[in-house]
Amino acid sequence: MLREKVEEALNNIRPTLQMDGGDVELVDVEDNGIVKVRLMGACGACPSSTMTLRMGIERAIKESVPEVLSVEQVW
């Protein structure tokens, strides 16, 4: 259930990322509230990727899914 909620939150932010040539892939949702994602396309190599992860992706997920404690990027 938690994974589906996170996926839905990502689907809401995905069009914004895709407008800039990037995307995000959900890698894992751990039982302890840690979400692991992979930034793809232009987002993967962008110098602002940390800002995108924290201020965009993590914020959107936490607003929609309060059970999530943090979002981590995996390579």
How far apart are alpha carbons 13 and 18 in whole angstroms? 9
Q: Report how far residue 36's alpha carbon sits from residue 69's, in angstroms, rounded to the nearest whole number.
A: 11
pTM, whole model, 2 decimals?
0.88
Instruction: Please state whether 11 falls in left (phi above 0), alpha (psi between -120 and 50) or beta.
Output: alpha
Domain tally, the chain: 1
Range of the domain at 64: 2-73
pLDDT digits (tens, 9 = 90+) for 6-48: 999 999 999 988 998 889 999 999 999 999 999 988 777 777 7
- Taking the CA atoms of 74, 55, 66 and 5 in sequence, report the sign of the dihedral they define: negative
Residue 15: give its domain's CATH number.
3.30.300.130
CA dihedral of residues 6, 9, 14, 16 (deg, nearest 10): -150
